[in-house]
Amino acid sequence: GGAAPPRDPPLSRRPPAAAMADSGGAGSGSGSGRALSCPGAAAVLRRWEQLRGRAAAVAPWVRGLLAVTAGLGLGYVMLRVPLRLRDGLAAVTVFLSTLTPKFYFALTVTSSFISGLIFVFEWWHFRKYGTSFIEQVSVSHLRPLIGGAENSPPAPAAFSAGDNEASRQNMPECKVWRNPLNLFRGAEYSRYMWVTGKEPLTYYDMNLSAQDHQNFFTCDTDTLRPSDTVMQKAWRERNPQARIKAAYQALELNNDCATAYVLLAEEEATTIVDAEKYFKQALKAGEMIYRKSQNCHSQSPQHEAQLRRDTNVLVYVKWRLAMCARKLGRIREAVKMMRDLMKEFPLLSMLNIHENLLEALLELQAYADVQAVLAKYDDISLPKSAAICYTAALLKARAVSERFSPETASKRGLSTAEINAVEAIHRAVEFNPHVPKYLLEMKSLVLPPEHILKRGDSEAVAYAFFHLQHWKRIEGALNLLHCTWEGTFRMIPYPLEKGHLFYPYPSCTETADRELLPTFHEVSVYPQKELPFFIHFTAGLCSFSAMLALLTHQFPELMVLFAKAVSIVS
């Protein structure tokens, strides 16, 4: 009998917020409607709808205001830096206008002096080491900091065991070889040092010789003989006097110690005659020990090693005796000893005795015998040398050099024999391009080192030191060489990525030659390196600064006006 409850209005007439609230309340049992079932949810939504309506009503004004504000801010940021730069330039202009001519003169002189010091240091570093100091520091220290090390080319891969021999021959190598014509330390190198006060051998070269002596004259069985034990230590001594003292100690223990006589002949003898006496004693002792080793070499591996060592000693002694005979003028005797040695030990080619034979035969002017030796050793499968290539060129030049004339050849052309001679010269120059300057006496010679680098300046020095006299003996040979040797470089591809008759010229010869040749010798470099950029740059900067200093000193007022004008324009 009570009054009926009021009825809700239809959904179409109710506000959206109320409808959403009701729908949320109806679904309060579900998880999605829990956030709207709270008491203040309806009020929050109603407030949000009011704000949206007001924002839609004033949107054009707000957008315009925001655009104007953003434009003003961007313009301020863009104009701030130029304004500061202009203020800075104005301050610099005022400062420069107060400077006197003395200041400009001091500034230009200081700049010229500093750039000149840098230029001199760069030039000295380039002449001594072949590189620019600034570029070297940049590559070594700055490139890793900026990430340039990642772009460096990969190192060339080494040959595997299965590569063929042709690939190995095409690969340029910088192997150091023992000089087959090396001089005697006591009788020749030491005398040069006594006269000139200059050390003819480098530490690197002597260290290589010490290693050779240990390989030639020592073995595992040296502990069985006290004298050999002493000599094993002697070859490792750095002090020459200590080595000589050890050799005498070994002779006290064993008067037939051949290696002790070898050391005394090489280092203590001050003349070739004295050296020959020591080598004859070494030969007598060496032959006796060699015969004993031959009788028992098959008993054990240790005896085989001892036989190899005794064979090396015997071959070395005979080789040096032949060189003594050659230096003392007994050339035919020297040739006979070399031929007998090559027949008796044909497999021991480490000393390259055939090059000694070539030089002795040239001294005898036995050119037919020289040609026979070349026919055996100037083979495509054998390693070449400057002695082989240039001796072959000398023999072919000998046939035409006496009647050769550049003017006549340019008119009638070259004959077949002249073409062969020119091609032989080109072949020799391609193998070692440093030799012609020494043969033509365009560069001064020094004593050859004990080790040489094939195709390098050290090999050129060693060849020209002994063979220059043979070229001078043949009339017209040096004239033919002078007229034709530079034509070789027109046939070689540049920049030496390919060779013409040989593999490309190696790039490592300069570094090795600087280690082998004495410091007072100017190493020949091929190909000639271009001056680095920083040498040109510092030279230009020094010259320009010096010119400005001179003009400032001569015309101070005019140069001040010029400096002010430049600052105003800037």
**pLDDT tens across 435-474, in order?**
999 999 999 999 999 999 988 899 999 999 999 999 999 9
What one-character-per-residue DSSP string does 240-280 give?
HHHHHHHHHHHHHH-TT-HHHHHHIIIII--SHHHHHHHHH
CA 178 to chain centre: 21
pLDDT of res. 183: 93
pLDDT of res. 119: 80
The set of long-range contacts for 323-331, using a CB threshold of 8 Å and a minimum separation of 24, is: 323/181, 323/356, 324/272, 324/275, 324/276, 324/279, 325/276, 326/356, 326/359, 326/360, 326/363, 327/272, 328/272, 328/273, 328/276, 331/360, 331/363, 331/364
Q: Tell me 445's DSSP state.
A: -
List phi, psi (to 5°) of 199.
-80, 115
Residues in the chain: 570
What one-character-per-residue DSSP string does 74-98 give?
HHHHHHHHHHHHHHHHHHHHHHHHT
CA 101, 102, 105, 106 dihedral sign is negative
Compute the distance between CA of residue 404 and CA of residue 477 in angstroms, rounded to an integer. Answer: 9
DSSP helix/strand/coil, 521: coil
Residue pLDDT, tens place only, 297-331: 666 777 788 888 888 899 999 999 999 999 999 99
pLDDT of res. 148: 46
Compute the distance between CA of residue 82 and CA of residue 71 in angstroms, rounded to an integer. Answer: 18
Tell me which residue has tokens 């940049």.
138
Tell me which residue has tokens 């750095």.
238
Compute the distance between CA of residue 544 and CA of residue 361 in angstroms, rounded to an integer. Answer: 61
C-alpha distances in Å from residue 354, one per residue of 121, 357, 385: 46, 5, 11
**Strand intervals (E) in 476-527:** none
Residues of the chain with pLDDT under 50: 1-37, 39, 148-172, 495
By C-alpha distance, which of 243, 358, 265 is closest to 318?
A: 265
Alpha-carbon dihedral 64, 67, 68, 69, rounded to 10 degrees = 120
By C-alpha distance, which of 372, 343, 282, 348 is closest to 318?
A: 282
Task: Answer left, alpha or beta for residue 329, where phi above 0 means left and psi between -120 and 50 means alpha.
Answer: left
Compute the distance between CA of residue 67 and CA of residue 54 in angstroms, rounded to an integer. Answer: 20
CA 138-144-148 angle, to 5 degrees, is 85
List Cβ neighbours of 20 (8 Å cut-off, separation of 6 or more).
36, 42, 45
Tokens linked to 38: 């709270």
453, β-bridge pairs: 176
Compute the distance between CA of residue 444 and CA of residue 126 in angstroms, rounded to an integer. Answer: 21
Alpha-carbon dihedral 297, 302, 306, 309, rounded to 10 degrees = 120
pLDDT of res. 152: 41
Q: How many CB atoms lie within 10 A of CB 279?
A: 27
What is the crossing angle of helices 353-364 and 301-327, to 10°? 20
Compute the distance between CA of residue 361 and CA of residue 351 in angstroms, rounded to an integer. Answer: 18
SS3 breakdown of the chain: % helix, strand, coil, rounded to 5? Answer: 70, 0, 30
Compute the distance between CA of residue 349 and CA of residue 385 in angstroms, rounded to an integer. Answer: 14
By C-alpha distance, which of 321, 442, 464 is closest to 391?
A: 464
**Contact yes or no for 486/422 (Cβ under 8 A):** no
What one-character-per-residue DSSP string does 18-80 give?
HHHHHHHHHTTTSGGGSTT-STTHHHHHHHHHHHHHHHHHHHHHHHHHHHHHHHHHHHHHHHH
CA 86 to chain centre: 52
pLDDT of res. 2: 45
pLDDT of res. 277: 95
The fold of the 202-343 domain, in CATH, is 1.25.40
Return the HEC string of 148-207.
HHHHCCCCCCCCCCCCCHHHHHHCCCCCEEECCCCCCHHHHHHHHHHHHCCCCCCHHHHH
